[in-house]
Amino acid sequence: MSKDTAKPSAGTSHGMSATADAKQTARRAASSPWAQGLARAGLVAKGLTFGLVAVLALDVAVSRSGKLQDRPAALHEVAENPFGRVLLAALAVGLAGYALWQLALAVLGRKLETGEREDDLRRIPHAARALVYGWLAFVAVDLVIDAGKPPGENHDEKELTARALDWPLGRWLVAAAGLVVVGVGLYNIYRGLSQDFRDELKEEQMKGAERRGYSVLGLIGFTARGVIFVLAGFFVVRAAWQYDPKEAAGLDGALARLAHAEYGMFLLACVAAGLLAYALFSFAQARYRKV
């Protein structure tokens, strides 16, 4: 065997070295204090978005007036208030930080703070969260630039469902997407009831009262969030089954359907209180979660 075939070429070795250096640089950047700070700011911003939706829903449940909002529409409510742009700018930074954190977890497959490796399957939800929160950050930035812009009608879920239903096998794809959302909701309910979210905490740094309070907030918050996901996924599956995109619903639509059920306002108030608990849970995570 010749030396040329026995050893990799200088160009190949240089390319492999450059790739390894790039990965190492990315890991160092992701584990830096500023990256971890962005991740924690992102948890605060995430909590604020759920808190806004919860407060608006509680107002509707108590006053029996007003309009239920999803998170983009809730951000627009903020834009219309004094100092709204300042708050939205801060939220945009936090939401972008959360998106970048999730993207880093998806790409690197390890926690930023501890370097602990994660299962490859967990990279998929990290990537999905990076897309969702990147989009929310974009919405916040867009509102900062033009806070007076009307929010427009919120038919995104219905429009997307209508388009998807027209694709080949679209009905099955929409049903599958709805089942995935239902699955995410059931997983959130499981996380709340089993309290497995405690594995992500630095519980050794928490006092007994803090640990108990955090556990209660997580139990209630994850369960309420799971209920909303299950409802939204159910309506998407029903839209596919009935071939009617009007049946599809997002966060605001699921809350609205809940409000129109028997004892709807009471149920709405319970779920809204649960979402508020999840918001408070996110604030506690910003301090104690292993990022």
> Is residue 188 within 8 Å of 235, Cβ to Cβ?
no
> Is residue 259 within 8 Å of 265, Cβ to Cβ?
yes
* 110/119 Cα distance (integer angstroms): 9
Tokens of 141: 């930035």
pLDDT above 60: residue 192: yes
* 44/40 Cα distance (integer angstroms): 7
pLDDT above 50: residue 142: yes
Nearest residue to 227 (alpha-carbon basis) of 202, 176, 261 = 261
When pLDDT is cut at 50, 70 and 90, the band that residue 153 belongs to is: very low
Tell me the pLDDT tens digit for each residue of 79-91: 777 677 788 888 8
When pLDDT is cut at 50, 70 and 90, the band that residue 283 belongs to is: very high
Tokens of 132: 């969702």
* 41/33 Cα distance (integer angstroms): 12
Max avg pLDDT among 48-52, 78-82, 109-113: 48-52
Q: How many CB atoms lie within 10 A of CB 49?
A: 24
More confident residue, 27 or 229: 229
pTM confidence score: 0.77
Q: Phi and psi of 289, rounded to 5°? A: -75, 145
Tell me the pLDDT tens digit for each residue of 166-188: 667 777 887 888 888 899 999 99
**Three-state secondary structure call for residue 274:** helix
pLDDT of residue 273: 92
> Is residue 94 within 8 Å of 41, Cβ to Cβ?
yes
More confident residue, 11 or 32: 32
pLDDT above 90: residue 277: yes
More confident residue, 31 or 269: 269
* 159/139 Cα distance (integer angstroms): 19
> Is residue 150 within 8 Å of 156, Cβ to Cβ?
no
pLDDT of residue 2: 47
